[in-house]
Structure 1
Amino acid sequence: MKKHLVFVYGTLRRGGERAMSIRFPNSRFIADAKVNGSLYDLGAYPGLLLNESNSLVIGEVYEVDDEILNKLDDFEASSNYWRKQVEISLGTHRRICWIYEPNPEFYSPRTLITSGDWIEYAKTKTDWPEDTWPDETQS
């Protein structure tokens, strides 16, 4: 089965309410990583809009097989996210990874997360939509 690299930046990160290690236990953590873009608060989860700015979004890279990638496609498509390839920074190295980016027209208004770090931002977030409180047991 083919292997793929996926960059996650929100609830699928370690410490997130849908962490890859729990939701997809056969995924393999590769490294912490960053990508150029802007991170927005979309309510219960973030949205990354890729751009050439100097702003960095913090995330993690996982290796997944075809089956997990298909499940991620279904999971993300249900929230109007599209999969695309992007170059990310792994320390001093650059790698091509899959990333899920929301349809920007679907989400409005948006609050910019200036730190680029959803996990840290979520710790201070108080306006969670109903039934989407973060699971504090996964910190």
Structure 2
Amino acid sequence: MNKHLVFVYGTLRRGGARAMTIRFPNSKFIADARVIGSLYDLGAYPGLLLNESNSLVLGEVYEVDDEILNELDDFEASSYYLRKQVEISLGIHRRMCRVYEPNPEFYSLRTLITSGDWIEYAKTKTELARRHID
């Protein structure tokens, strides 16, 4: 079975309601990482727009197999996200990772999360969003 690297930045991170290690126990945490882009509040979930700015968005890299990648596609596609590829620095190495970016029509007029950290940002949100973090 093929292995894939996936960058997660929202509720799939450790501390999120849908943390990879809980939702997909066979996924393997590789490292904390950052990508260049902007993070937006899309309501109960964030949306990462790649290469939109010189800002950094905090996330985590996981190794997953084909089955988990297909489940992620099903989960994210139903939420209006599209899978893309992005280059990530892991120590001295650069690796290609999959990442889910929202369809542009769903992020217009949304709040920019200047810290680039969904988990910390969500702690300050309304009770609805708090259900999506520990």
Per-residue deviation, 1:127: 6.3
Task: Render the CA deviation track for 1:62-112: whole Å, top value 9, x for unaligned.
Answer: 000000000000000001100011112224432110000000112332100
Look up the SS of the partner of 1:124 in the other structure.
Answer: coil
Per-residue deviation, 1:52: 5.2
Identity over aligned pairs, percent: 83
Post-superposition, which runs of at least 4 consecutive aligned residues in structure 1 deviate over 4 A?
Answer: none
Aligned-partner residue type, residue 115 of structure 1: S
Confirm or deny that 1:134 pairs with 2:106: no
Normalised by the length of structure 2, the TM-score is 0.93
Confirm or deny that 1:102 pairs with 2:102: yes
Aligned-partner residue type, residue 68 of structure 2: I
Alignment-derived partner of residue 61 in structure 2 = 61
Structure 2: distance between partners of 1:126 and 1:52? 27
In structure 2, list runs of 5 or more residues that go unmatched. none
Per-residue deviation, 1:135: 4.5
Alignment-derived partner of residue 121 in structure 2 = 121
Which runs of structure 2 are paired with 1:62-77 in the superposition (5 Å)? 62-77=62-77
Which runs of structure 2 are paired with 1:24-35 in the superposition (5 Å)? 24-35=24-35
Per-residue deviation, 1:43: 0.6
Structure 1: distance between partners of 2:92 and 2:43? 33
Worse-matched range after superposition: 103-112 or 36-45: 103-112
Report how many residues are paired: 134
In structure 1, list runs of 5 or more residues that go unmatched. none
Structure 2: distance between partners of 1:92 and 1:55? 20
Structure 1: distance between partners of 2:7 and 2:83? 10
Look up the SS of the partner of 1:105 in the other structure.
Answer: helix
Change (3 A) 1:119 1:91: farther
Worse-matched range after superposition: 39-48 or 100-109: 100-109
